A and B are shown apart, each in its own frame.
Chain A
């Protein structure tokens, strides 16, 4: 039995309500943190080496320590705009244990001297927003939010903000613009949000899972928490396994266990008689891996070394009954739809990649289109304000590179279906 921090008793009836949460020791860690000096709380978070669970994997303690000290208006924003395809871990936390998130937020604001916090939840999460709203009211009533929290000098206002359906608002600066009531276009960085963020004030932005982990860090102390997992990927992580597996769902694992144990052990692997063709280790933005990579340890650094990323911890498994082209089309279509249109490489690159894939389906493509597609991906990466374009370019580029022969066969087959003439004739002309 592995360590459960976030999913401890997650299915207990009524855990989302204050009495049950308190009976399970809830808000005890808040009391403990409030008795400590803010610097010590922050030091614990730094010692824990907790890496952001939203996708970038940046250390939370480091990010929090960038915030300037002093009495200016500072903000904490909890990023609950979970919309990376394949990711649904924050949903389970917010739906079943909202008070753990609130407790984490109050502790984090104490450590950083923040008195106004927002939870930006995606508009589609209606049930979860209702549950959070009720939990915030309960916490307010019980004195865990508001003034003189638990008799200390800390005070905090927590506002739940519902989005309205835009993937780009999960990007931290896009989220800030959206929270300010604008179109959710990303901003130029630097300045980073820790220096100039919401309403131009210093802003700490963290993912739901990251903040929900904070009470566990206070409970275990930072140095103890850092012993869980691997040296550079500490702690436990929720992984969302979906796609062609027998038991899709959220699982809490210690970072560093073999990926095979997650996909086959926990999620049951692909249905009888099928084999894994490819898998996304960290949401649909991650470069794909193949069945040869199943023995990689599931942690930030190992996956980065293998040319992919842990991202949000969403594993999407694709088995051999699906074509690579079909997966590419879905991925490209999604990013083309969600590109905000601010930067040209992303707006045009995602759009044309989708069209090039549709050309292949229509039997109008030649293998040269794959080269063009690969070069388009290279020209998107690193050339935009945010990483939405990269998020399409990386998986598409990796699929073109790793499954080139299958794609060439698909081009040939599609040409035949469309009666477009054999490739040799065209290649001869070119």
Chain B
């Protein structure tokens, strides 16, 4: 929703924000139990990754988020199949894992194929410096690329390069609306995104901590 042209706010009777809240549960369906490892095929790499994660913690449940990340990397999203596989390795119910996955912004429960993620920060510090325009431009440019998912995201912790975006985890900024096209070209070409604007190469802003060879 853009700030300049706000839609009228529905005042009453619009229900909860959560889709499906008013649909009854099918009580005739048997509850999903912990999947049987013997009959649930799990890709070997994924199994190894989840087991390595579980070994790190005193309680195996702590590995839920790392395991769901691993499954999502493999499947593109936390599909019922992915949840089933994680549940079989971790010996938890799929419902428990769904409850976890639905809580976190980076875990996806809606179907989509493998894709590139562009998170555009539209929180306060970025929006003060024009993030909303960057987001609009990014959305418009990405409409021709079905494999690129553009999402507006809450503060990504890089307000020094505002307005910024995280492209498959790589932080880039400060962005201008024109950069949208270049980001997509770089993604399509499979090269590093906007190399000259990547956070990893940015120096500390504090003028008194310049490195020895730096003569700023």
A residues touching B (Cβ–Cβ < 8 Å)? 1-2, 4, 7-13, 73, 82-88, 90-92, 95-96, 116, 122-127, 159, 161-167, 178-184, 199, 240, 242-244, 247-252, 266-267, 284, 314, 316, 318, 322, 326-327, 329-331, 334, 337-338, 340, 351, 355, 358-359, 361-362, 364
Q: Is the CB of A123 within 8 A of B9?
A: no
Q: Is the CB of A181 within 8 A of B159?
A: no
A181 to chain B: which residues have CB within 8 Å?
Answer: 59, 61-65, 100
Q: Is the CB of B154 within 8 A of A338?
A: yes
Q: Is the CB of A284 within 8 A of B124?
A: yes
- How many B residues face the partner with a CB closer than 8 A? 60
Mark B78-116 against chain A: 1 for CB-CB distance below 8 A, else 0: 000000000000000000000110011111000000000
> Complex: how many Å from CA A161 to CA B67?
11
A2 to chain B: which residues have CB within 8 Å?
Answer: 208
B68 to chain A: which residues have CB within 8 Å?
Answer: 164
Residue B31 CB within 8 A of the other chain: no
A358 to chain B: which residues have CB within 8 Å?
Answer: 6, 9
B17 to chain A: which residues have CB within 8 Å?
Answer: 351
Q: How far is the CB of A331 from chain B (nearest CB, A)?
A: 6
Mark B149-185 against chain A: 1 for CB-CB distance below 8 A, else 0: 0000111111111100010011100000000000000
Question: Which B48-62 residues sit within 8 Å CB-CB of chain A?
Answer: 56-59, 61-62
B155 to chain A: which residues have CB within 8 Å?
Answer: 83-87, 284, 334
Secondary structure class of chain B's binding surface, majority of residues: loop
Q: Is the CB of A88 within 8 A of B59?
A: no
Residue B210 CB within 8 A of the other chain: yes
**Known contacts A125-B157, A164-B69, A355-B9; A244/B204 CB under 8 A:** no
> Complex: how many Å from CA A10 to CA B160?
16
Residue B212 CB within 8 A of the other chain: yes
Q: Is the CB of B200 within 8 A of A126?
A: no
> Complex: how many Å from CA A10 to CA B203?
9
Q: Which of B34-42, B125-133, B138-146 contacts A (4 or more CB under 8 A)?
A: B125-133
Q: Is the CB of A164 within 8 A of B204?
A: no
Residue B24 CB within 8 A of the other chain: no
B residues touching A (Cβ–Cβ < 8 Å)? 3, 6-9, 17, 56-59, 61-66, 68-69, 99-100, 103-107, 119, 122-125, 127-129, 153-162, 166, 169-171, 199-200, 203-212, 214
Indicate which residue in A82, A179, A244, A249 contacts B160 across the interface (CB closer than 8 Å).
Answer: A249
Q: How far is the CB of A49 from chain B (nearest CB, A)?
A: 24
Q: Is the CB of A96 within 8 A of B204?
A: yes
Q: Is the CB of B171 within 8 A of A334?
A: no
Residue of B nearest to A163 (CB): B65
Indicate which residue in A164, A249, A364 contacts B8 across the interface (CB closer than 8 Å).
Answer: A364
Residue of B nearest to A249 (CB): B205
Indicate which residue in A86, A116, A318, A361 contacts B159 across the interface (CB closer than 8 Å).
Answer: A86
B169 to chain A: which residues have CB within 8 Å?
Answer: 124, 126-127
> Complex: how many Å from CA A302 to CA B69?
43
Q: How far is the CB of B214 from chain A (nearest CB, A)?
A: 7
Q: How far is the CB of A239 from chain B (nearest CB, A)?
A: 10
Q: Is the CB of B3 within 8 A of A166?
A: no
Q: How far is the CB of A119 from chain B (nearest CB, A)?
A: 12
**Known contacts A11-B210, A88-B158, A180-B61; A124/B200 CB under 8 A:** no
**Known contacts A124-B106, A182-B100, A316-B125; A240/B154 CB under 8 A:** no
Q: Is the CB of A86 within 8 A of B106?
A: no
> Complex: how many Å from CA A199 to CA B166?
33
Q: How far is the CB of A300 from chain B (nearest CB, A)?
A: 21
Q: How far is the CB of A272 from chain B (nearest CB, A)?
A: 15
Q: Is the CB of B105 within 8 A of A266?
A: no
Q: Is the CB of A252 within 8 A of B6?
A: no
A122 to chain B: which residues have CB within 8 Å?
Answer: 157
Q: Is the CB of B157 within 8 A of A124?
A: yes
Q: How far is the CB of A68 from chain B (nearest CB, A)?
A: 18
**Known contacts A124-B119, A163-B104, A240-B160; A364/B9 CB under 8 A:** yes
